[in-house]
Amino acid sequence: MRTDVAVDSVAARADIGEHEKSAERVALVTGATGGIGPDIARALAAQGVHLAISGRREDVLETLAKQLRATGVRVAPIPADLADFDQIDPLVDRSEDALGPIDILVNNAGVENVARYADLTRAELQAMIDINLTSPMLLTHRVLPGMERRGDGHVVFVGSLNGKRGLAYTGPYAATKAGLSLLTQSLRDEYRQTQIGFSAVCPGFVLGGGMYQRLLDQGLRAPGMLGSTTTERVAAKVVKVIKRDLPEGYVNTPPMRPTLVLAEMAPKFVERLLPIFGGGEFFRQVGAKRQADADVVS
């Protein structure tokens, strides 16, 4: 049962890697080849956690694996494309064959597509649903029986602040990330009398990797009122939610975090306030630039 005593016992460990049953913990991190994935893997390695790292770029996985092994942990780099659901079972099987049972699953892989909703193709819509929502659900479904048998485990879903408040041109992405937050809530309630934990980590605009960094490289910067964070801070939050068994962690600078809390109590007011922050207008600019670039290519 997750009680105050149980949470304190987790926090009292020297690090996540010290597991009371085996003195070792194993994590599977998806989306490890880009964005915040590498820093999540590094943060877990710093805690003594052995790592199965997955992504689509085998060369990047091998380079990251070499860096992680230098910290003293065992690492299994396993290429996988989570858009192909048939690769999910082999990914888990190969991870456990190499390192042992998975104690921690970090569902980090994701894709985005900033565009007018009506301009997206069905294939683009389906890709976001498949990778951002369905694959994490299937992976979690795959590892849970083992966690139940061992009576312990933790699953982290990397969501987004966009999943707490949808903005123009981000509807499908926001919907998939909102789904992860609600899935986390449901599973926490379902497993509340066990030692299996579930957490969602919701970053804002992330500097240093991922979609927002690519936009910065193209000269597109979000308004300062929307806040930002870094890959390192997101990774630190992942470690924190596991250690403390937190239901959810926002990673962003003010004023967006209190604004999201206010949105639960006064949604109409926040709907009028957000245009002042410039979020919708920023994504309109991103969508317009991508459309213009596509027109040039075609």
Say which residues have a Cβ less than 8 Å from residue 22's Cβ, sequence separation at least 6.
Answer: 100
Report the C-alpha gap between 276 and 150 in whole angstroms: 50
The number of beta carbons lying within 10 Å of the beta carbon of residue 141 is 10
Beta bridge partners of 50: 26
The answer to whether 173 is a known catalytic residue is yes
DSSP one-letter string for the chain: ---HHHHHHHHTSSSTT--TTTS--EEEESSTTSTTHHHHHHHHHHTT-EEEEEES-HHHHHHHHHHHHTTT--EEEEE--TTSGGGHHHHHHHHHHHH-S-SEEEE-------S-GGGS-HHHHHHHHIIIIIHHHHHHHHHHHHHHHHT-EEEEEE--GGGTS--TT-HHHHHHHHHHHHHHHHHHHHTTTSSEEEEEEEE-SEETSHHHHHHHHTT----GGG--EEHHHHHHHHHHHHHHT-SEEEE--TTHHHHHHHHHH-HHHHHHHHHHHTHHHHHHHHHHHHHHHHHHH-
Of the residues 173, 191, 212, 250, which is catalytic?
173
> Checking DSSP bridges between strand 229-230 and strand 153-158, what pairing results, if any?
unpaired
Active site residues: 173
